[in-house]
Structure 1
């Protein structure tokens, strides 16, 4: 019997379980270059960490005056990203340990991500995480992406658990806001360290201000054990 009681854990994918943001940056940079936008930088990319690919493209169309149809841009972006993701997407070592630790305890787990279903499947399969993380929700499958709570609420529904029993792991402010809106506890591990003071992160039960460099599976597990309500 797990010491975590009825707790379930819902993971964001990009920037939380895996370091996929460099691949998203490269895919977006090349896509925009083909649309005549040649000055897209990593700092620009950081502004879109934590929101869905479709929402990012909608914002790019507005910001950069991209005229190509959204559906065409989305297909192009996913094609570029999938090629990079299949070639190399590293899992954060402590996150893999955490998944393995939770699996050993029999804790229900899910992934709720702004990526496409194809991208999520490719990454989980390629990294070997798919054997543990079988419940998956993409923002493409719900009405609203983060910071709306839809993906997290759908993950809880598919797990067959109460949102109040769920703990979310997130690297981005929109995701932390979505967890709060879903009335779920949150462990926040900011991907962009400079964003650690974002008000959305203040709603997290545990904020690992140093991001992945400070996150450990054992510390996260111990926090879960301490914060699990007594039955």
Structure 2
């Protein structure tokens, strides 16, 4: 039992727990180049941060007039991403410390991500975070991806937690919107600094405008303790 009533903590994966966006960008850049789009930039990629891979690929098909079916593009991008992710994905050190701190307090934890189940499993195993994060929900497993609340609500259901008792950690505006829609508190750590003023982040209980450079495990833990709802004795 934690000192703050053991709320559940739900983590977004990409850009929140691990620095995987460079791999997503490179996978997307390679796939688009193979389909006749040679000039996909990091700035282009940033527009899709926080959006599920399936929705991203669907938008590419429309925007670039790609002839391949969405399913084919999605499978190719996922394959390429997994190759890159297995070779090099690192967890943010303070996030790892935070996960370990919460695990020591017996806090239920889950991952809720727009990535595929295979990608989630590969990254958690590769970083060793699967030791602590054994519950994971992919947007592929629910009806709607972020900014809909489905992945967070499903994570809460699997943890046996009331959504009102859950705290979400998110790096992207759609994820912050999804947490708010789910009725959950949110610690927002914007991956793209220029998006820190997005209205979706204004709903977060704690907004760290400096992103991962500003996040510390101890400060996040102290915020949880300080803001925990009072429990009946």
After TM superposition, the score normalised by the length of structure 1 is 0.99
The runs of at least 4 consecutive aligned structure 1 residues that moved more than 6 Å come to none
**Equivalent in the alignment of 2:57:** 57
2-structure distance, mates of 1:54, 1:145: 9
For residue 169 of structure 1, give the secondary structure of its aligned residue in structure 2: strand
2-structure distance, mates of 1:217, 1:208: 13
1-structure distance, mates of 2:91, 2:4: 24
For residue 212 of structure 1, give the secondary structure of its aligned residue in structure 2: helix
**Count of aligned residue pairs for this structure pair:** 231
For residue 169 of structure 2, give the secondary structure of its aligned residue in structure 1: strand
For residue 111 of structure 1, give the secondary structure of its aligned residue in structure 2: strand
After TM superposition, the score normalised by the length of structure 2 is 0.99
**Equivalent in the alignment of 1:191:** 191
Runs (5+) with no aligned partner, structure 2: none
Runs (5+) with no aligned partner, structure 1: none
**Equivalent in the alignment of 1:109:** 109
> How far is 1:230 from its partner?
1.4
CA contact (8 A) 2:171 2:189 kept: yes
> How far is 1:67 from its partner?
1.1
CA contact (8 A) 2:8 2:167 kept: yes
CA shift digits 1:20-60 (9 cap, x unpaired)? 00000000000000010011000000000001000000000
CA contact (8 A) 2:6 2:106 kept: no
**Equivalent in the alignment of 1:42:** 42
